[in-house]
Amino acid sequence: MLARSHAYDAPVLTGGWRGRALVLVLCVLVAGCAQRPDAAAPVTLVFKHAKILGPSDPVPALLREFERRHPGVRVQAESLSWNSDDQHQFFVINLEGRGATFDVMMLDVVWVAEFARAGWLLDLSPWVTRAELEPHFPSTIAPATWNGRVWAMPWLMNVGILYYRADLLGKYGLTPPRTWEALVDQVVRVRAAERNPRLDGVLWQGRQYEGLTVNALEAIWANGGRMFGADGTVFPEEERAAGGLAFLRALIVSGVSPSWVTAADEELSRRHFGDGRAIFLRNWPYAMDLFQAAGSPVRGRVGMAPLPGRVGGAVSAASSGGAHLGVNRRTRHPELAVALVRFLAEAEAQKTMTVGGALNPTRMALYHDRDVVRVHPDFPLVHDLMLRARPRPVTPAYLMLSTTLQPEFSAALVGVKSPRQAIEHARLRLSYLLEGLR
C-alpha cells in the first residue's frame, strides 16, 4: 500500500512494497558500482613469450614497471619452450581454435605475415606510425609490416655471425677470412700445424629444421643467388643456388666440417665450439656472452667477423632473425595490449633487456650506448653486421616455403641428391605450391 508521509510529503512504502523496493534499490546500486572504472576488477593481460635465455630474465621487472604506469592493470607472463617449432605449433592451435586466452605474443619474425593473413593479429597501424619504426634496423621493419600495414613491433634481433678462434689465427699470422675459400685454406693450415685430430674446422647448423634453411640461404646469397626474382621466379640464378649448396656439401666431404653438422642445431654447434674443439663457427650473437662467461674454455680467445662471401665479388649476406611483439586480434583490451607492446619496444625497455640478458635490441642507437657497450664491448661491431643483415622472404607462406626446402637441402648435404637436383626439385615444388596460393 502506498501512503504519504506528512513530514516530508513524500511516498512511504509499507508492507510487501517495502521489500520489493529495497531489492530494486540494491540492484541499481550494484549496477552503478559495476560501471565505475575505479571499482572494477583489475585488468589482466597475458603475455606469451619464449623462455629468455641468458644470465638473467629482465622481463618480470619490466612488466612490474608497466603495471606501475598503468594502475589497475596486471600482466601475467607465461613462457613457452625456446624451440621455435614448438612455439609456432602452440600459437597456431590456440589462435586457429579461437580459444586463445593471451593478449600479447612474442613471435619469430618469419611468422608475422602468416599470422596477419590468417586474421590472428591486431592491425597496429592506428597506433604505430612509420616514424616510430625508423629507429629500428631496416631488416627488422620489413617483416613487421605486410600488405602496407604494421602488424608487430620489432623487439629482439639476430644476425648470422662467423666466430673464430682469435688465438689460433693470431698464432699463425692469419686474419678473419673474407671468403669461404680463404676460410677453407685457413682450416687446412691451422689443423696441419696444430696436429690435433679432435680440432674441427667450421661448424654450422645442418639439421633438417629452420636453421638449415637459414644456413643454406646464406650460402646461396654468398654465391650471388636469390630465392625469388623480381617476377616471382623461384631460384632465378639456378646455377648459383646449386653452387651454394655444393659448397656446403664440399665442406662435409672434405672434412673441413665434421659429418655430424647435418644433425647440428645452434646449441650443439655452440657447445662444441665453446669446448675449444673447432676453429670457426657460424651462429647468432647470443653465443658470445656464453663464450666470455666465467669458466668458459674459450674465454678471451674468440673473435667475431662477418660471414664470408665467395670468390668472384659476391657480397656476403647474413640472415636476420629475432622476435617481434604482436597483439591477439581477439584481445578484450586492445588499447592496453598495444600499450604493452609499445612499452616493451621502447628504447629504455630494450636497453634493460640488453644489459640484463644475452639479448640483442632492434634499435640501432643502443649498439653505441655507453652503458650497453660497457656490458657488451663487441656491440659496435655487431651493429655493422646487423646493418648488412638480410631478411628471409617476407610472405604469409614462409613456413610452407621453408618446410618444402628443408628436405631438398638436407638431401643435398647428405649426398642423396646432387645440389643441382635438389635445387631443381625445390624449384618445381615451390613453384607449384605458390601457384596454388595465388
Span 344-372, pLDDT tens digits: 999 999 999 998 876 899 999 999 999 99
The b-or-e profile of 288-327 (16+ CB within 10 A means b, else e) is bbbbbeeebebeebbbbbbbbbbeeebebbbbbbbbbbbb
CA neighbours within 13 Å on the CB side: how many for 90? 19
Of the given ranges (5-9, 99-103, 353-357, 361-365), which has the lowest mean pLDDT? Answer: 5-9
What's the chain's length in residues?
A: 438
The residues with which 74 forms a beta bridge, in sequence order, are 44
Of 162 and 85, more confident: 162
Distances (CA, A) of 154 to 69, 184, 287, 323: 22, 36, 21, 7
Separation between Cα atoms, residue 164 and residue 393, nearest integer Å: 29
The percentage of the chain sitting over the pLDDT mark of 70, rounded to a whole number, equals 88
Identify each DSSP E strand in 177-309 by its residue range: 200-203, 278-283, 302-305
Identify each DSSP E strand in 328-374 by its residue range: none
Q: Which three cell numbers stand for residue 275?
A: 669446448
pLDDT of amino acid 55: 67
Span 208-265, pLDDT tens digits: 999 999 999 999 999 999 999 989 899 999 999 999 999 999 999 999 999 999 999 9
The answer on pLDDT for 19 being more than 70 is no
Strand order in the sheet with 200-203: 200-203, 278-283, 161-165, 302-305
The answer to whether residues 219 and 245 touch, using CB atoms and an 8 Å cutoff, is yes
The answer on pLDDT for 9 being more than 60 is no
- Please state the separation of Cα 401 from the chain's center in Å: 18
Span 392-419, pLDDT tens digits: 999 999 999 999 999 999 999 999 999 9
| Most confident range, picked from 10-19, 92-101, 148-157 | 148-157
Supply the CATH classification number for the domain 43-158+322-387. 3.40.190.10
CA neighbours within 13 Å on the CB side: how many for 135? 13
Span 182-204, pLDDT tens digits: 999 999 999 999 999 999 999 99
Q: In whole numbers, what is the pLDDT of the chain averaged over residues?
A: 89
Q: Which three cell numbers stand for residue 179?
A: 671468403
Average pLDDT over residues 333-341: 98
pLDDT of amino acid 34: 39
pTM: 0.85
Distances (CA, A) of 202 to 188, 252, 268, 281: 11, 10, 13, 5
The amino acid that residue 402 corresponds to is: S
The amino acid that residue 82 corresponds to is: W
- Work out the angle between the directed axes of helices 238-254 and 180-194 (0-180°, nearest 10): 0
Q: Which three cell numbers stand for residue 287?
A: 653465443
Average pLDDT over residues 56-67: 93
Distances (CA, A) of 144 to 112, 131, 136: 6, 14, 11
**Segments making up each domain of the chain, as ranges:** 43-158+322-387, 161-318+397-437
The answer to whether residues 75 and 67 touch, using CB atoms and an 8 Å cutoff, is yes
Supply the CATH classification number for the domain 161-318+397-437. 3.40.190.10
